[in-house]
Amino acid sequence: MARYALIDDYLDTMRDGLSWRRDLEDLVSEMEDHLYSTVEHMCSRGQEPALAERTALNRFGDPKTLASVYASTKHGGLAMPTEFTRRAGTLALVSAVLFTAFGTYWIIWSEFLDSTFEWEGIGSTTYVVATVALAVAFFCLAFTTVGIIQRTGTKGILPIVAFVLVGLGTVAAMMAWFTPGWMLLGGLGALIGAIVVLRSGLGSTTATLLYGLGLLGGLALTMLLTTLEVGRVDEWGDYPLAYSFGIGVGCYATAVGLLGIGRWLRSEEPVDIESTPIPA
């Protein structure tokens, strides 16, 4: 089969504009077959190859418009990597580190420092630092949620609810001791965000599940161990061991999930349809 320079340039442009799609090569192959077949059919009817080539491309449409069409979801949004989604991926990694740090702090505090903790000096300082770290982790989580929504092109009530819940979780995280609040609100927000990712078929399924179930799983574990009265009882009537396991598992699972989400969002090159060149 003869090669056509304009069509080949057109297909290269489409590859650049749709580089984020997993089925890129299959999609471009279908376009190539259609365009080449159209040109060959026109040429068999006596049309000049150059004119047939241009006619086929004009009928197919410019690559900027097609890239928008192929990026559109059934919800009406555009599902493509952008500079913002890459930044959201970076913040997901930051959030993962902070959740890991807070989970470690809570385990150490509950198991080794609780009985000697004083609201003065190093005790109060470490608590304030840990609280700030948790609040920042949730702040980064909120931006990650927006990045997920933008990357999947999801519209409607679901993404709004996810963002609001994570936002409320951020407020609750400013009181680090109020663990049921930030674990429940943030966990529900993360779960909805994970559902959005799973529905889109993007990202790692394992990382997405850990991200979506981490905090809620940790909260459930805390409640279970508390109900079973596992470990000693502190002066406030709580079970430190239950909280250590629950918060630790919740934070660590969420952190691992965020690492996967962050690496996925950062691994994709941003797409700018408006600047995609159109072959002459």
CA atoms within 13 A on the CB side of 68: 9
Q: What is the pLDDT of residue 275?
A: 43
Same domain, 216 and 262: yes
Q: What is the pLDDT of residue 146?
A: 94
Q: For residue 250, tell me if it sits in a domain.
A: yes
Same domain, 63 and 100: no
Q: For residue 275, tell me if it sits in a domain.
A: no
Q: Which residues, listed in sequence order, are joined to residue 72 by a DSSP beta bridge?
A: 78
C-alpha triplet 82, 147, 153: angle, nearest 5°: 75
Same domain, 11 and 52: yes
For helices 121-152 and 157-173, the axis angle rounded to 10 degrees is 170
Same domain, 98 and 145: yes
Q: What is the pLDDT of residue 280?
A: 40
Q: Do you know the residue count of the chain?
A: 280
- Domain end among 72, 92, 117: 72
Q: Is 72 helix (H, G, I), strand (E, B) or coil?
A: strand
| Number of helices and strands in the chain (H, E) | 10, 0
Structural domains of the chain, count: 2
Note the pTM of the prediction, 2 decimals: 0.73
Task: Let me know: does 20 contact 268? Beta carbons within 8 Å.
Answer: yes
Closest CA to 256 of 120, 100, 126, 113: 100
Which residue range is the domain that position 16 belongs to? 5-72
Same domain, 196 and 241: yes
Q: For residue 151, tell me if it sits in a domain.
A: yes
Task: Let me know: does 16 contact 269? Beta carbons within 8 Å.
Answer: no
Same domain, 98 and 219: yes
Q: Is 96 helix (H, G, I), strand (E, B) or coil?
A: helix
- Domain end among 50, 72, 94: 72
Q: Alpha-carbon distance 273 to 276, whole Å?
A: 5
Residue 72: φ, ψ to 5°: -75, 145
Q: Is 78 helix (H, G, I), strand (E, B) or coil?
A: strand
Q: For residue 59, tell me if it sits in a domain.
A: yes
Q: Alpha-carbon distance 227 to 106, whole Å?
A: 20
Task: Let me know: does 35 contact 57? Beta carbons within 8 Å.
Answer: yes
Sign of CA dihedral 52, 55, 61, 63: positive
Q: Alpha-carbon distance 39 to 68, whole Å?
A: 25
List all residues 6 or more positions away from 140 whose beta carbon is below 8 Å from its beta carbon: 91, 92, 94, 95, 98
Same domain, 218 and 127: yes
Q: For residue 182, tell me if it sits in a domain.
A: yes
Same domain, 49 and 99: no
Same domain, 62 and 132: no
**Each residue's pLDDT expressed in tens, for the chain with a length of 280 residues:** 467 788 888 777 777 766 666 667 777 787 788 788 888 888 888 888 888 888 887 777 666 656 655 555 555 555 678 889 999 999 999 999 999 999 998 888 765 555 445 545 555 777 888 899 999 999 999 999 999 998 888 888 989 999 999 999 999 999 888 889 999 999 999 999 999 999 888 889 999 999 999 999 999 999 998 888 887 776 667 777 788 889 999 999 999 999 999 999 998 877 654 444 434 4
Same domain, 127 and 232: yes
CA atoms within 13 A on the CB side of 142: 18
Q: For residue 273, tell me if it sits in a domain.
A: no
Q: For residue 90, tell me if it sits in a domain.
A: yes
Same domain, 199 and 122: yes
Same domain, 116 and 89: yes
